[in-house]
Amino acid sequence: MKNNHRYNKNKGKNIKTARTMILFIIIVAFVVVGSTLMAIKFSESKQAVQALDVNKETNSESNLDSNKEKSLDSNGENNTDNKGNVNSLENDPVADDIAFVEKYLNQQMKGQMPDGAADGKKVVYLTFDDGPSETVTPHILDTLKAENVHATFFLVGKAIDESKVTKDLVKREVEEGNAIGNHTYSHNYNYLYPNKTVNVDNVMADVNKTNQSLKNIFGENFSTRAIRFPGGHMTWKGMDSMDALMKEKDYHQVDWNAMTRDAEGKPKNAEQLKQELIKTIVGRQKAVILMHDTYGKEETAKALPGIIQYLREQGYEFRTMK
């Protein structure tokens, strides 16, 4: 009995020891397996992060390349400035400083010898007001591109915001090397010039609203210094305060010294519009031509090829204003 008791006691110890060993082995196995799974998960996470970084870098480079492509005009020139403004005077070989043109017209209007007249160069600035329109602007752009000529478009904000088509037309204007000016948002004479007197606050609100419409298309770096008042600067009373604010904000307004009269008098066909231009451009060394690309101006679009041909025959160089 004594030996049996000792045997049972030893057997119990052995079983307890075996259980302890098994438990230890299980714990070690869990630790090893857990560590391995954690290592695999960490490796996968690291690879995912690296892949994400590579994708970010690739996308960033792609976006940069895309922006560069978007900033190229129809001649392959990069016309953006160092802030990314696609309507910048910087690096644009066909654009003149709008401040120069403004001064030239003001001096000419006063009967003075304009600065720049002595260079003897015949320069013409084709300008189109009141657009874009889905019906006329595309034909104007087709002709300009076919003739390798550029123009300055004075845009109305509400026309820009009319549809995706009109927004895309504004993009096309810039992409094909044309210049953009601000022609207010509403083009509403009663709002802008109550009692035929300029309301500075209303005009600036309209100018700012059109600027935002353009930024919505081209980004926050877009800007234009070119302003044309609906109806022309000389038409309205009280412009001194408006002019002072324009100068303070580095805006420059230009009217015109030649026109097709496509917005005056009875409707005219293409040939009549061309003849009206010929009458008004006589003697102009530097001519700013007023035309329109809004709805109902299909004859203007038809007249444009003949107008360009005539101006070339007269020795004019085509330039824009920024």
Q: Enumerate the active-site residues.
A: 129, 292
Distance (Å, whole) CA 151 – CA 231: 20
Q: How many CB atoms lie within 10 A of CB 219?
A: 13
Distance (Å, whole) CA 225 – CA 97: 9
SS3 call for 77: coil
Burial 38-61 (b: 16+ CB within 10 A, else e): eeeeeeeeeeeeeeeeeeeeeeee
> In the structure encoding, which two tokens stand for residue 304, read together?
């444009």
Distance (Å, whole) CA 133 – CA 161: 11
- For 273-281, the CB contacts below 8 A with 24+ separation are 273/299, 273/300, 273/303, 273/307, 274/303, 274/306, 274/307, 274/310, 277/307, 277/310, 278/310, 281/124, 281/311, 281/314
Q: How many CB atoms lie within 10 A of CB 75?
A: 12
How distant, in Å, are the alpha carbons of 51, 93, 173, 192 from that of 39?
18, 60, 57, 71
